[in-house]
Amino acid sequence: MTDLISYQSGKPDFVKAAAQQVLSKQAFDEAFQEITQWQGYGATPLYSLPSLAKDLELGTLCYKDEGPRFGLASFKALGGAYAALHVLKREIERRMGQSVTLEEIRTGQWAQEVADVTLTSATDGNHGRSLAWGCQMIGAPCRIYIHAQVSEGRAQAMQALGAEVIRIEGDYDASVDQCRREAQRYGWFVVSDTSWPGYNQPPRDVMAGYGVMAREVFDSLTEAPTHIFLQAGVGGLAAAMAASLRQLWGKKSPRIVVVEPDFAPCLFESARAGAMTVFDIKQETIMAGLSCGAPSPLAWEILQNEVSDFLSISDDLIGPAMVQLVRPSGDDPKIEAGESGVAGLAALMSVCQLSDMRQKLGLDHKSRVLLIGSEGVTDPVIYNQIMQDVSN
Ligand SMILES: Cc1ncc(COP(=O)(O)O)c(C=O)c1O
């Protein structure tokens, strides 16, 4: 099943303040300059899928594959590690009473001081992996809180990067609470991808890091897409893309469609209520990275102004979308993508079959649709299981 709320009446046609002020162009530029210096940086592929576009009766369809991002298999590599550098910069500047650059921290010039600052976060997998990787790169101790449903494969991936992983009972929101409480008690520094009242800077840096994807897309396309489908958990990815694309393309920036699971539609419900709303998660979705009950207020500030439509989709759409990518139509490239990474595609495939939704979203044979494939195979066991289930 696919539900649609059209929140704005079509695409907002001027650059809203939130897309400039919450995340400034300068913040995106700084993140781009820093991240493109990291070892192993390369723009991720932006694939054209002409056969699928034809099948869906669209003009063009592009898929940005975040699978190869820094060898971490998801776009999250851009956020947590970048925000970690900023947290360390601020703390070392405070301790030393002098200004310090991100490059100095990254290249080990403050190694002794960095080793004394513990960074921590809650995660459903991908953000924690990015933070663990960043901490390993910089030499800072890392503690990651995961909830009961996070797969063992994802926990092990973070341990392999040197993080201490703490599994709690309860859901993602409970893991965020526990992480915050323990950090306060022991003097650790939270590097979260979601914000809360009084805690904004690290999630802002996380989102600035995500803006690298928007720059890469902007640099590779000659014409702006008409639509972008963005899967959301707390909304950071969608907000960063929305703000950055609006800054880069202005009035030509695409209509933004946010996609969430039926089991965790906190932004969808916020749009319906006209105010940020917490959703009480009763069941865990297969889209593990999107299982968030509380929006990030910082992200919502942007999304409430920039998003045209919110979609909520059921879990059964995910397997077929993963199969579609790996066994493509015609000569389209073969792409391996994880459960959360294909949510935008799953929603698109679903709405294209529903003429009223297609019409409401303004999708037709001239549409140029962009998808962000936000993860590759982040957990091979789950990936193979889903493939097997769909094939049976
Ligand atoms: C693969 C993947 N896609 C999308 C998202 C959603 O990002 P956000 O929580 O910033 O909305 C996540 C979050 O963990 C994710 O792991």
For 51-83, how does the pLDDT look when each residue is reduced to its tens digit (9 = 90+)? Answer: 999 999 999 999 999 999 999 999 999 999 999
pTM: 0.95
Quote the DSSP letter at residue 335: -
Q: Give yes or no: residues 234 and 156 share one domain.
A: no
Number of domains observed in the structure of the chain? 2
12 C-beta neighbours (distance < 10 Å), count: 18
356 part of a folded domain: yes
199 part of a folded domain: no
Where the chain has pLDDT below 70, the residues are 1, 7-18
Q: Give yes or no: residues 258 and 359 share one domain.
A: yes
For residue 78, report the distance from its CA to the centre of ligand 1, in Å: 12
pLDDT at 15: 55
Query: Does the Cβ of 203 fall within 6 Å of ligand 1?
Result: no
For 354-363, how does the pLDDT look when each residue is reduced to its tens digit (9 = 90+)? Answer: 999 999 999 9
Return the CATH number at 173.
3.40.50.1100
For residue 110, report the distance from its CA to the centre of ligand 1, in Å: 31
**Domain extent for 139:** 80-192
Choice from 64, 290, 303, 382 to test ligand 1 binding pocket (greatest atom count within 8 A of CB): 290
Residue with the smallest CA separation from ligand 1 atom 14 is: 289
197 part of a folded domain: no
233 part of a folded domain: yes
DSSP states of 114-168: HTT--EEEEESSHHHHHHHHHHHHHT--EEEEE-TTS-HHHHHHHHHTT-EEEE-
Tell me what percent of the chain is helix, strand and coil, each rounded to the nearest 5. 50, 15, 40
